[in-house]
């Protein structure tokens, strides 16, 4: 793929402490997205400040990490309010789904297939673009 084509793809910052799963996810997504993976939130926050990705795909529970899930997304949103957030988790409780909806975060279960994840990332990107257009009109 040419560099010019790659630069047109949606940039995704993926944060997950499950490296085995992450390798599989990255392999599946790299054909459609410009994906950067980190296993810790500190690295991800630093990367977001430098690269300004369009989407953040965040694991809900990252054991021993300063930020995870909602907190990580909130931290990144402070500097990048137009980032498209996606919560990626095994936790399928209605409480987590509702909180995601209330915070305008796309929820994707890790128990779904790659196509569902791609649809979730695409939905988050479309929502991000619509929000950006709305902000410009204000």
Which tens digits make up the pLDDT trace of 19-77? Answer: 999 999 999 999 999 999 999 888 898 889 888 899 999 999 887 667 778 989 999 99
pTM recorded for the entire structure: 0.89
User: For position 40, which CATH number holds?
Assistant: 3.40.50.2300
**Buried b / exposed e across 27-61, counting CB within 10 Å, b at 16+?**
ebbeeebbbbbbbbbeebbebbeeeebbbbbbbbe
* Residue range 106-130: mean pLDDT, rounded: 94
The residue segments making up the domain with residue 127 are 3-137
User: What's the domain count of the chain?
Assistant: 1
Residue 85's beta-bridge partner residues? Answer: 56
Q: Would the pLDDT of 2 be above 50?
A: no
The predicted pLDDT at position 6 comes to 53
């Amino acid at each position: 793929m040419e560099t010019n084509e790659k630069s047109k793809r949606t940039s995704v910052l993926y944060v997950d402490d499950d490296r085995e799963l992450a390798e599989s996810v990255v392999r599946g997504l790299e054909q459609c997205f410009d994906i950067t993976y980190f296993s810790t939130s500190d690295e991800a926050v630093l990367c977001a400040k430098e690269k300004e990705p369009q989407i953040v795909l965040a694991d809900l529970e990252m054991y021993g990490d300063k930020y995870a899930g909602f907190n990580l997304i909130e931290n990144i949103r402070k500097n990048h309010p137009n980032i498209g957030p996606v919560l990626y988790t095994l936790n399928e409780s209605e409480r987590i789904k509702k909180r995601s909806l209330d915070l305008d975060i796309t929820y994707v279960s890790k128990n779904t297939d790659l196509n569902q994840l791609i649809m979730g990332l695409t939905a988050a990107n479309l929502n991000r673009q619509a929000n950006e257009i709305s902000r410009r009109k204000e």
